[in-house]
């Protein structure tokens, strides 16, 4: 019996925000001093490094749990299952529902419970809980769903990754240009002829690395409001990712028993185009190979970095032919890999 993905769905917000939207921003250093370059130079450099030209923001009336519910409905429909047969709803996010114009994240009740409510699932034995694991949260949710099904305590699980990072960015921080909103959902279940999770690996590095991503004050020291925003040490994250992620991917692939030449696609967290390319190149260098052309689908150019939503959104888009020159076929071996707050790293080797 195989345990794999039987259905996918995503929600791509309709509001498109292009890079020139930030041309009038007052970007500051972390100490509150002005950056030495003009916004034109800052935005050009940002685009050349991250690859991001556009990002998606949700409408003001929507929250993370709302867009997650839409993605979940699509995944349930795609899989053809009865929603009442779900044993678990596992919702990976980081900030809860942050309503437009508000500064406080709302996680009471849990976002997973809100999705179950929105989906009108009546079965009380369908257990709903949230996953806080940084950007790798969706992969970790899939790993847990796999364990539940393998152990016999579950048959079908809904795993969601969603975030509205536009609600927690500091407009005075140039890193605010990276973040976006989105939701992706998957149904994980056992079947005779479906996809198969071949291996997985997870790590948490918290001996000095725990606060590479954190909640911090605005770079504008003159603001009087007591509010926190998503912050990161970008250089430290870059160096950490290039050191740790390729080896974790290699370990996972070796554990799967698959050859490196069998890998058709690598679905990596859409964090930063240059960083993602460097990670995958270094992964192939561990096998004394060059990175194959087209191995790494990307949607960050148009979607931005929606954290935990990036991989399930990307996978759904490729699976449904919505990214040019990218496709997957039955039997293909692919790798899911992510890195994020914690600092957490994980990977799955999956046969479609």
* pLDDT above 90: residue 323: yes
| Cβ–Cβ under 8 Å, residues 180 and 306 | yes
Asked which of 136, 164, 193 is the last residue of a domain, the reply is 193
Instruction: Looking at the structure, tell me whether residues 304 and 268 fall in a common domain.
Output: yes
Instruction: Looking at the structure, tell me whether residues 19 and 168 fall in a common domain.
Output: yes
Instruction: Looking at the structure, tell me whether residues 183 and 207 fall in a common domain.
Output: no
pTM of the model: 0.95
Q: Which of 83, 72, 2, 54 is nearest to 312 (CA)?
A: 72
Instruction: Looking at the structure, tell me whether residues 111 and 128 fall in a common domain.
Output: yes
201-219 pLDDT tens trace: 999 999 999 999 999 999 9
What's the pLDDT at 192? 86
Q: Report the CATH number that the domain containing residue 308 is assigned in CATH.
A: 3.40.47.10
Instruction: Looking at the structure, tell me whether residues 67 and 96 fall in a common domain.
Output: yes
Instruction: Looking at the structure, tell me whether residues 271 and 175 fall in a common domain.
Output: no
Q: pLDDT tier at 350 (50, 70, 90 boundaries)?
A: very high
Instruction: Looking at the structure, tell me whether residues 168 and 282 fall in a common domain.
Output: no
Q: Which of 159, 160, 181 is nearest to 169 (CA)?
A: 181
What's the pLDDT at 11? 98
The predicted model gives 330-344 an average pLDDT of: 97
Concatenate the DSSP letters of all residues of 259-311 into one string.
Answer: -GGGEEEEEE--S-HHHHHHHHHHHHHTTT-PPPTT-S---HHHH-B-GGGHH
80-128 pLDDT tens trace: 999 999 999 999 999 999 999 887 899 999 999 999 999 999 999 999 9
Contacts of residue 36, defined as CB under 8 A and 6 or more positions apart, other chains included, come to none
156-197 pLDDT tens trace: 999 999 999 999 999 999 999 999 999 999 999 999 888 999
Asked which of 138, 172, 193 is the last residue of a domain, the reply is 193
What's the pLDDT at 193? 85
Concatenate the DSSP letters of all residues of 129-181 into one string.
Answer: EEE--STTHHHHHHHHHHHHHHHTS-SEEEEEEEEEGGGS--TTSGGGGTB-E
Other Cβ atoms closer than 10 A to 285? 12
* pLDDT above 90: residue 273: yes
Asked which of 123, 158, 193 is the last residue of a domain, the reply is 193
Domain count, the chain: 2
* pLDDT above 90: residue 306: yes
Between helix 273-285 and helix 39-50 the angle, nearest 10°, is 30
Instruction: Looking at the structure, tell me whether residues 237 and 112 fall in a common domain.
Output: no
Instruction: Looking at the structure, tell me whether residues 125 and 164 fall in a common domain.
Output: yes
Q: Is 18 exposed, middle or buried (0-12, 13-18, 19+ CB in 10 A)?
A: exposed
122-158 pLDDT tens trace: 999 999 999 999 999 999 999 999 999 999 999 999 9
What's the pLDDT at 102? 84
Instruction: Looking at the structure, tell me whether residues 327 and 343 fall in a common domain.
Output: yes
Report DSSP state, residue 18.
E
Q: What is residue 25's three-state secondary structure? A: coil
Buried b (16+ CB within 10 A) or exposed e, 154-176: bbbbbbbbbbbbbbbbbbbbbbb
The predicted model gives 53-81 an average pLDDT of: 97
Domain that includes residue 253, residue range: 198-351
Instruction: Looking at the structure, tell me whether residues 157 and 26 fall in a common domain.
Output: yes
Buried b (16+ CB within 10 A) or exposed e, 217-241: ebbeeeeeeeeebbbbebeebbebb
Instruction: Looking at the structure, tell me whether residues 206 and 162 fall in a common domain.
Output: no
What's the pLDDT at 318? 97
- Which H or E run includes 118? helix 111-119
* pLDDT above 90: residue 1: no
Cα gap 29→332, rounded to integer Å: 46
Q: What is the mean pLDDT of the chain?
A: 96
């Amino acid at each position: 019996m195989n345990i794999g993905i039987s259905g996918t769905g995503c929600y791509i917000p309709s509001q498109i925000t292009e890079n020139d939207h930030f041309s009038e921003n007052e970007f500051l250093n972390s100490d509150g001093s002005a950056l030495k370059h003009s916004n034109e130079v800052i935005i050009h450099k940002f685009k050349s490094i991250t690859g991001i030209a556009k990002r998606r923001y949700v409408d003001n009336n929507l929250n993370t749990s709302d867009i997650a519910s839409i993605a979940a409905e699509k995944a349930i429909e795609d899989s053809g299952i009865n929603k009442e047969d779900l044993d678990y709803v596992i919702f990976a996010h980081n900030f809860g529902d942050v309503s437009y114009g508000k500064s406080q994240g709302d996680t009471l009740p849990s976002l997973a419970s809100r999705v179950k409510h929105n989906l009108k699932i009546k079965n009380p034995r369908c257990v709903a809980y949230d996953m806080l694991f940084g950007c790798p949260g969706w992969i970790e949710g899939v790993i847990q769903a796999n364990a539940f099904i393998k152990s016999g305590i579950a048959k079908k699980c809904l795993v969601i990754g969603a975030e509205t990072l536009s609600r927690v960015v500091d407009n005075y921080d140039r890193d605010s240009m990276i973040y976006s909103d989105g939701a992706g959902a998957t149904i994980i279940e056992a079947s005779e002829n479906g996809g198969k999770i071949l291996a997985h690996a997870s790590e948490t590095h918290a001996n000095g690395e725990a606060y590479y991503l954190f909640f911090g004050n605005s770079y504008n020291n003159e603001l009087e409001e007591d509010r926190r925003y998503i912050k990161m040490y970008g250089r430290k994250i870059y160096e950490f990712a290039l050191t740790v992620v390729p080896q974790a991917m290699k370990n996972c692939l070796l554990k799967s028993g698959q050859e490196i030449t069998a890998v058709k696609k690598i679905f990596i967290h859409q964090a930063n185009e240059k960083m993602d390319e460097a990670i995958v190149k270094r992964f192939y260098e561990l096998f004394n190979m060059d990175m194959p052309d087209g191995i790494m689908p990307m949607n960050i150019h148009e979607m931005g970095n929606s954290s935990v939503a990036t991989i399930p959104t990307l996978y759904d888009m490729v699976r449904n032919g919505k990214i040019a020159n990218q496709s997957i076929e039955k039997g293909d071996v692919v790798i899911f890999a992510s890195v994020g707050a914690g600092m957490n790293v994980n990977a799955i080797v999956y046969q479609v």
